[in-house]
């Protein structure tokens, strides 16, 4: 269990460091991401981005199991 937590932590750190670069290539502003802006209010829900990140993490964990 501790090994899994360490791997997840390292992956989150890598994503956090790489996030500015990922935003430059368009991740976070994909079609399907919900963004609502009003006066004094902003709501952002990255549905498509979350699905892509989930698929990538699933693939990475699946490859580590083999």
pLDDT digits (tens, 9 = 90+) for 23-33: 788 777 888 88
By the 8 A CB rule, do 27 and 50 touch?
no
Angle between helices 2-24 and 47-65 (to 10 degrees): 140
Query: What is the per-residue pLDDT for 39?
Result: 93
Residue 25, SS3 per DSSP: coil
pLDDT-derived band at 2, boundaries 50, 70, 90? confident
- What is the pTM (predicted TM-score) of this model? 0.61
Q: Select from 6, 11, 9 the least CA-distant residue to 59.
A: 11
**% of the chain at pLDDT higher than 90:** 23
Tell me the per-residue pLDDT of 43-57, one tens digit each, with 9 for 90 and over: 999 899 889 889 988
Q: Where are the domains of the chain?
A: 32-66
> Within a 13 Å sphere around the CA of 18, how many CA atoms are in the beta-carbon half?
11
Cα–Cα distances in angstroms (integers) from residue 49 to residues 12, 30, 52, in the given order: 15, 7, 5
């Amino acid at each position: 269990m501790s090994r899994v937590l360490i791997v997840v932590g390292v992956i989150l750190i890598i994503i956090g460091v790489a996030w500015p670069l990922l935003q430059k290539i368009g991740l976070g502003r994909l079609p399907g991401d919900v963004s609502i802006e009003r006066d004094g209010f902003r709501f952002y829900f990255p549905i498509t981005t979350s699905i892509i990140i989930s698929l990538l993490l699933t693939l990475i964990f699946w490859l580590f199991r083999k």
